[in-house]
A and B are shown apart, each in its own frame.
Chain A
Amino acid sequence: DGGITQSPKYLFRKEGQNVTLSCEQNLNHDAMYWYRQDPGQGLRLIYYSQIVNDFQKGDIAEGYSVSREKKESFPLTVTSAQKNPTAFYLCASSIPYSGRARGNEQFFGPGTRLTVL
């Protein structure tokens, strides 16, 4: 079965610690995205990557870092510089450009809920 997996489902972090959220996809998608979801605020784009070894900042990149060393993987690190990291984090990927008859359809993982203690 193809899909996107995120781990862990729940994550607890002490203040001042860095933590890395995993996102893996076996859909052969080129583009991958990280979003942050807060209640009543919808999804905000943190970082995105259109191709391996390349990524761009989204709207709220401060305090976060990413890497894209493999097509299948796009891990997100929440650093201690992120002032309010408690949120639900969603990873997504897009189909290749040649198949985008449905616009930029994005496929989402199940999410990771991060809580800072």
Chain B
Amino acid sequence: GEDVEQSLFLSVREGDSSVINCTYTDSSSTYLYWYKQEPGAGLQLLTYIFSNMDMKQDQRLTVLLNKKDKHLSLRIADTQTGDSAIYFCAESITSASKIIFGSGTRLSIRP
């Protein structure tokens, strides 16, 4: 069945790069997403990538996709205190199908 896995916690020093990893099982996944959830709030779409892409860059965010290994990563350059949040990896097969979310990675920033 469909499954998305990610580690629960990541701690980085302010100014360093953060890399959050995710693996998924459904090779039919066409859309892969990264959502951000700040404390006590809903989720917000950060970025997305189509399965026919290897990489996508958007300002401080870089998404890498290894389709062969079904591995997705999110790199945040120059991590700031405002980046503290839970980051969810997610996938869907089509633009109409439901989204499967991972368990979320809680990113904490050390001074």
Q: Residues of A with Cβ closer than 8 Å to B?
A: 4, 33, 35, 40-43, 45, 48, 58, 90, 92, 97, 100, 102-111
Contacts and interface: CB of A to CB of B under 8 A. Distances in A.
B88 A103 contact: no
B19 interface: no
A51 B27 CA distance: 28
B39 to A, nearest CB: 11
Interface stretch (B10-18, B61-69, B70-78, B98-106): B98-106
A107 B43 CA distance: 7
Contacts of B42: 4, 90, 92, 108-111
Nearest to B50: A103
B33 interface: yes
B44 A108 contact: yes
Contacts of A41: 103
A42 B43 contact: no
Interface in B1-38: 4, 8, 30-31, 33
A110 B43 CA distance: 8
Nearest to B94: A104
A92 B43 CA distance: 9
Most buried by B among A33, A48, A90, A106: A106
Given A102-B45, A105-B45, A108-B43, A97 B103 contact: no
A45 B98 contact: yes
Contacts of B41: 110-111
A101 B100 CA distance: 18
Contacts of A43: 43, 88, 101
A45 B98 CA distance: 9
Contacts of A40: 8, 103-104
B59 interface: no
Nearest to B47: A102
A90 B33 contact: no
A48 B42 CA distance: 17
A42 B8 CA distance: 10
B96 to A, nearest CB: 6
Nearest to B106: A40
B92 interface: yes
